[in-house]
Structure 1
Amino acid sequence: MLDQIAGISRVRMLYLQLLYRCNFSCKHCFHGELLKDAGQFSLDEASGILDHFREVYKLEAVTLLGGEPLLYPYIDDVCSHAKHLGLRVEICTNGHRGYHSALEAIAPQLDKLRISLDGLKPSHDAIRKRGSFDGAMEMIDLAVTLEIATGATMTVTEHNLNDVVPLARLLQDHGVTELKLHALRLVGNAAANPSLEVSDPARYRTLHQQISDAGLSISILYDSDLSQESAGERCSNLVADGWLDRIESDPRGGLTVSCKAVGRDVNAFRWDKARHEILYEPRANDEFATRIPDVIYESTKAS
């Protein structure tokens, strides 16, 4: 179906949102009210979408998301099935202290763990939950002890932009190899917290200079909307010859191609969880009709 309608014949990465439910309600979360939704993939449904994308679209990797994926009751089974299919398995978690045993159980199946960190302790706890920064750092230390490759993700806001470099230094001291920076999208909870948006994008130029001057060994991957210059309307998702870099599936089955469209309910494709097939359901405002560009990720290192 993706091939017939959108010319997509291969997909590198599936971002699989296993459930909406989360133990946090972060001020910038794109899910918003859906965090209260009980919807989730059953084990059969999760296995089915992995099987389909592996067989039909030569899927190479899956990133397991939520909500909070370590709350998902079949997380170990999904990880095992993904590895059985030969997929690279990543997971992105808020790193709560209560998930240590869950991480230990799936450690042998994980290729990378990503911890969500939104700045140093004051910034992070203000946007997430008191004590969550310390819990996330403890999870990082556990992951490194378990010899799991570990990265961190950070949504850049008006209040934590100056935390990027000191956080990167702290993370590299704890054995983290990559920090991934996301631009804030005003959807979900963020729509109710517009003060989080960076008021002067020119500050990104200062950020890049700070990174360049810092002499960091940690790799920094950033959303090009955080670039010193506007990313414009470029779209890197369709790589070449029908290759799609990534596609995201939500617990209701929505399949979204552009990361900038996630959380906006503008998907044109849907995964039918019962029939295990992709359906095409075009709308006047879907991501293809309105040509929503995708996020472009770039890397920067100290010179």
Structure 2
Amino acid sequence: MRLVSHPVLCNYYVTYRCNAKCGFCDIWEKPSPYITLDNFEENLTHLKKLGVKVIDLTGGEPLLHREIDQLLKLAKEKGFITTLTTNGLLYPKWAARLKGLVDMLHFSLDSPHKEEHNNSRGVDCFEHVMESIRIAKDLGERPDILFTVFEENVDQIETVYKNICEPNNLVLILNPVFDYNDVETGQSLSEGTLEKLSNWGKKKNVYLNEAFITLRKDGGNHVTNPICKAASSTIVISPENELVLPCYHLGLKAFKIENNLAELYSSEEVQKLVALEGKLPECEGCTINCYMQPSFAVEMNKYFWKALPSTIKYNRLKGTWRALI
């Protein structure tokens, strides 16, 4: 049963450019412009009309955008919940100007060991993450640690939790890795690793969407009975000011936005693509977290109930639950 018929999230790519070279991502390889303030402000008005509540300013590395503070300020002024993930390289530079503008601020950290994390990211950024934590805390901010879980680093969760998160009172977000397109992320997560993640998700100040685990045990999305509601729950906007469908990672078609996002999204041509969400051959077996998360929230099924406790837990920790009602 469908609970919410309108999109709830916008993944807004402010640029595809990045100052890291993560081996499990290919976004940084793409040439890219930066979004403009004018286009962003216009699109915010339309996103509000469409019912979107959360805007994820993403990339690439979003802090490469020279007006990222102004973008976030505009989103907050219009009442959106804001989220942003950074590798930490530029956060110390931006920290004071971003204070109070990001509801869900995530620092990416894949290992408690400096060399391993830097190798994963393709750039020396471990110490910048540690510095970013200190600065954010001094400013009264409440960042999270976003830990991408691979088969080979699952046993490092405990060290990150005990040595970094607990002493700094940070939420630890566990993000199971996923494959997409031609990007391979190594060995699939084993049953044992999935069980370890489930157990970690029960701990204080740890967020793991249990539905991610269930979905992986079920073999991911199935085109005959799709769980994915990417295109109807999430709006993807590119740095070129295009509406990308059915999702960024598949990106079959991009529609130029010309001050008409709400009208464009509701158009017959776009809705035909929306109707194909989760049903395309490429969608078989998909487990991409950033689209499954909102998909679980808009339709009542077993994944909805699996996701609900952790979703409530996290939004209570961040104080954002009222804005989602």
Larger fraction in strand: 1
CA contact (8 A) 2:198 2:213 kept: no
Shift of 1:256: 4.4
Shift of 1:265: 2.1
Compare 105-114 and 121-130 and name the one that shifted more.
121-130
Mapped to 1, the partners of 2:153 and 2:204 lie a distance apart of 21
Return 5+ residue gaps in structure 2 as ranges: 297-306, 314-325
- Name 2:37's counterpart in structure 1: 43
Once structures 1 and 2 are overlaid, which stretch shifts more, 144-153 or 67-76? 144-153
Q: Is the 8 A contact 1:183 1:223 kept in 2?
A: no
Tell me which residue corresponds to 2:260: 276
Shift of 1:95: 0.8
1:247 is matched with which residue?
235
Q: Which amino acid aligns with 1:39?
A: P
1:229 alignment counterpart: 217
* 2-structure distance, mates of 1:205, 1:180: 11
Match of 1:70 among 50, 63, 68: 63
Aligned to 1:198: 187
- Tell me the residue number matched to 1:4: none
CA distance in 2, matches of 1:124, 1:65: 21
Partner in structure 1 of residue 141 of structure 2: 148
The amino acid of 1:264's aligned partner reads L
What is the aligned partner in structure 2 of residue 29 from structure 1? 25
Q: Deviations over 1:251-292 (max 9, x none)?
A: 2324345xxx5323235xx45333432253567xx6455173
Deviations 1:53-90 (A, max 9, x none): 11x21222211111111110221111111111111122
Correspondence for 2:104: 112
Aligned residue type for 2:252: V
Rounded Cα–Cα distance in structure 2 between residues aligned with 1:30 and 1:108? 31
What do residues 169-193 of structure 1 show as CA deviations (whole Å, max 9, x unaligned)? 32232221241413222446xx2xx
Aligned-pair CA distance for 1:105: 0.4
Paired position in structure 1 for 2:197: 208
Distance 1:288 1:181, change over 3 A: closer
The letter for the 2-side match of 1:201 is: S
Identity of aligned residues (%): 20
Aligned to 2:7: 11
Cα 1:58–1:221, aligned 2, differ >3 Å: closer, same or farther?
same
Residue number among 145, 150, 154 corresponding to 1:157 in the alignment: 150
Q: Deviations over 1:91-146 (max 9, x none)?
A: 111111x4313121021322221111122224321111353122112212222222
Q: 1:200 to 1:182 in 2, by over 3 A?
A: closer
Supply the AA of the counterpart residue of 1:45: N
What amino acid is aligned across from residue 29 of structure 2 in structure 1?
A: E
Report the alpha carbon displacement of residue 9 of structure 1 after superposing the two structures with TM: 4.7
Partner of 2:207: 220
Give 1:290's aligned residue.
280
Q: Secondary structure at the match of 1:90?
A: strand
**1:103 and 2:82 aligned:** no
TM-score, normalised relative to structure 1: 0.77
Deviation at 1:13, TM superposition (A): 2.0
CA distance in structure 2 between the partners assigned to 1:32 and 1:73 by the alignment: 17
Identify the residue that residue 3 of structure 1 maps to in structure 2: none
Matches of 1:115 and 1:140, distance apart in 2? 8
**How far is 1:205 from its partner?**
3.8
Change (3 A) 1:175 1:50: same
Aligned mates of 2:100, 2:92 — CA distance in 1: 14
Pairing 1:167–2:167 present: no
Distance 2:4 2:194 in 1: 35
Contact 1:24–1:128 at 8 Å: present in 2 too? yes
Residues 249 and 256 in structure 1, CA contact (< 8 A), matched pair in contact too = no
Query: Are the aligned partners of 1:184 and 1:197 in contact in 2 as well (CA < 8 Å)?
Result: no
The two structures have a TM-score, normalised by structure 2, of 0.72
Deviation at 1:43, TM superposition (A): 1.2
- Give, in whole Å, the separation in 2 of the partners of 1:15 and 1:94: 18
Aligned to 2:47: 53
Q: 1:220 to 1:229 in 2, by over 3 A?
A: same
- Does the 8 Å CA contact 1:100/1:139 hold for their aligned counterparts? yes
Q: Which runs of 5+ in 1 are unaligned?
A: 1-6
Counterpart AA for 2:204 = S
Contact 2:56-2:84 at 8 Å conserved across structures = yes
Count of residues in correspondence between the two structures: 276
Structure 1 residues 147 and 271: CA distance shift in structure 2, 3 A: farther
Mapped partners of 2:188, 2:11: distance in 1: 30
Q: Which amino acid aligns with 2:109?
A: L
SS in structure 1 at match of 2:217: coil
